[in-house]
Structure 1
């Protein structure tokens, strides 16, 4: 276990170092650093509890367990930052109330019990748990259950924020590779399992000893390590979209500029003609904003026209034209399919295959084969 704790400390520390060296430290980057910093100290404190004489640092037996009230909160703040929903520190600080209550109780305990007695109590509890002879206390059960419930709530809220972001970028971007955070949805589910399951097992085992406490601790530490690797490697490569969309602004355009349905339909026809003649969809990094600039139109107005007339979002609208262009190329050329996709604005094989099948109902290879048979 010592090796994993050292590796976890090094990985989180190195990830933090790389993130703070970025040219521009955005709010999401700042909150990802907070998450990794929390885990850095957790690995470090766990290492100290295993390898160092605690008589010199008795406070550590009280501090590290309270950090579990920060995991869900920090991850929630990170997902809010991605959606550009973060408020002032004061307004967000109420999320720290459970953590501050736990820390307050720990501080009172620290000053009311001599350091030697505190360490001796901690060691006795550890020995009793290893021997499965520990008589449980209501306070400790409430504390463990509180950590589990607290993290379940905040991980659930984080999942909602990620879903909101991934939906919002569909209205702004034609290619999502650099800005989508589907990995974060998967990570939250993994973290939900890796964090809460060992704690839940520990909770049950605390009442009805079944598993060896050492085994549970090893599983838990390994889970933390895996989570740190997944999160750290992804946030280092992540780019974030500007997905702030003011619904009131869109409504205002709808009420003032686009009252007449005939006017909306005409503007959509003009847009379709522009797409067919100028082929802006061939630009890999085409966004709602850049297309609006080409059309000398407000981005919110353009978004409303696309959503209203095509009954889809910007991503679907642009990629429909890309797929139509790819279909023609598949009919008349023998060029490699992936090269055709790249030539028509796609920058990801997986995205191209997914969109192509959604639009046509078949894979690109099947489509080419079907076209060849019909000739």
Structure 2
């Protein structure tokens, strides 16, 4: 894992100094410190430098905040991070350092080595070491949960604003991010629980064996996805229109007129066939502002731009599945989708069946 993280870090250092890459560097560096600290303990190298034991604890508490800050740099249009979140993130390592002071100042290197062996450890010093470790672990769990939840909310809001403005969001939505957050959250939680139990002297058959495997898998997925993630343009990180102030409150008559224009643009002009159709392009086509279209979709038609456009694409795909023998992937491209996965998801949500299952049902009815 150390080698994998080091290689990824070296690659990111060769990239332009954009915010996304800068925060990814910081996150990978913290991961490297965390992994090196765990290797230092598990390999027994602490015997040669016992004063360094546990120095990774303050850095480990920063992993959750660092992951959130990377998500913020990747998805948020705001270049500034909330000052309260910054202060909260910094408070974690400060609290851990304060908790570690008795362990660092009151226990000598020889006494620290003696603590590793139940036969030689001093009960009072062991209690200090145990409480220090437990406190650091509890803080790690708390900060990880808080910032992972914040990152999940940030990702959800990012997807929502994309659905209000684009008919195709797969390349912009970071669909992999939530999965990685869940994997990391589970791994770090299991890590903290195992560390907590081991500190109390409780072990199970998978201690020190299964968790490193899960951690390696989660780390590999994150590194592979993060390195492949393109830097999003500012326009792809705009705030959701629902949270932006309206320039006008439309009457029902005006929204009805815009809705009619939208219907004509889809059924007659078939604008949905454009694979990268956006709210901006539709606005130019029907000569209405983006805000007015967005307001009409949300308040009059009770939908989002993404669902509105893809609904017409799905209806067109249903006709093609019924009347032609084209491959499903070709139909997906013909009706405006630019990926099979997006097409399958949208089709199943509207129809209740996958495209292949729907075609099979049509064939059964014909027989």
- Normalising by the residue count of structure 2, what TM-score does the alignment of the two structures yield? 0.83
Query: Shift in Å at residue 367 of structure 1?
Result: 3.1
Query: Shift in Å at residue 292 of structure 1?
Result: 2.3
Query: What is the CA RMSD across the aligned residues, in angstroms?
Result: 3.2
Matching residue of 2:33: 41
Query: Shift in Å at residue 315 of structure 1?
Result: 0.9
Residues 331-372 of structure 1 deviation map (CA, whole Å, 9 limit, x = unaligned)? 322211210111111122222122112212233234334445
Query: Shift in Å at residue 51 of structure 1?
Result: 6.2
Matches within 5 A, 1:349-364: 349-364=340-355
Query: Shift in Å at residue 130 of structure 1?
Result: 12
Matching residue of 1:68: 60
Residues 289-339 of structure 1 deviation map (CA, whole Å, 9 limit, x = unaligned)? 332233343322221122223211111111011112212222322211210
> Matched residues in 1 for 2:272 and 2:259: separation?
16
> Matched residues in 1 for 2:169 and 2:349: separation?
16
> Matched residues in 1 for 2:172 and 2:352: separation?
26
> Matched residues in 2 for 1:27 and 1:327: separation?
43
The change in CA–CA distance for 1:56 and 1:368 in structure 2 (over 3 A counts) is closer
Residues 16-35 of structure 1 deviation map (CA, whole Å, 9 limit, x = unaligned)? 33334445x54334323322
Matching residue of 2:200: 207
Matching residue of 1:339: 330
Give the structure, 1 or 2, with the largest relative contact order (CA under 8 Å, sep 6 or more).
1
> Matched residues in 2 for 1:370 and 1:246: separation?
40
The change in CA–CA distance for 1:325 and 1:129 in structure 2 (over 3 A counts) is farther
> Matched residues in 2 for 1:129 and 1:73: separation?
39
> Matched residues in 1 for 2:301 and 2:19: separation?
34
Are the counterparts in 1 of residues 164 and 294 from structure 2 also a CA contact under 8 Å? yes
> Matched residues in 2 for 1:129 and 1:174: separation?
67
> Which of 265, 276, 279 is 1:285 aligned to?
276
Matching residue of 1:3: none
Structure 1 position 263 matched with structure 2 position 250: no
Are the counterparts in 2 of residues 170 and 315 from structure 1 also a CA contact under 8 Å? yes
Matching residue of 2:190: 197
Work out the number of aligned pairs and report it.
356
Residues 32-57 of structure 1 deviation map (CA, whole Å, 9 limit, x = unaligned)? 33222211222234445566965876
Give the secondary structure class of the aligned counterpart of 2:337: coil
The change in CA–CA distance for 1:300 and 1:43 in structure 2 (over 3 A counts) is same
Are the counterparts in 2 of residues 67 and 99 from structure 1 also a CA contact under 8 Å? yes
Structure 1 position 103 matched with structure 2 position 103: no
Range that drifts further, 163-172 or 81-90: 81-90
> Matched residues in 1 for 2:355 and 2:21: separation?
38
Query: Shift in Å at residue 265 of structure 1?
Result: 0.7
Residues 73-94 of structure 1 deviation map (CA, whole Å, 9 limit, x = unaligned)? 1122223332335525855430
Residues 188-216 of structure 1 deviation map (CA, whole Å, 9 limit, x = unaligned)? 2211221111321221333353448xx63
Range that drifts further, 76-85 or 302-311: 76-85
Matches within 5 A, 1:58-207: 60-81=52-73, 82-85=75-78, 87-88=80-81, 92-94=85-87, 95-104=89-98, 106=100, 110=104, 112=105, 117-118=108-109, 120-128=110-118, 136=127, 137-207=130-200
> Matched residues in 2 for 1:248 and 1:29: separation?
28
Range that drifts further, 121-130 or 334-343: 121-130
The change in CA–CA distance for 1:331 and 1:367 in structure 2 (over 3 A counts) is same
Q: By percentage of residues, which structure has more helix?
A: 1
Runs of 5+ consecutive residues of structure 1 not aligned to the other structure: 1-7
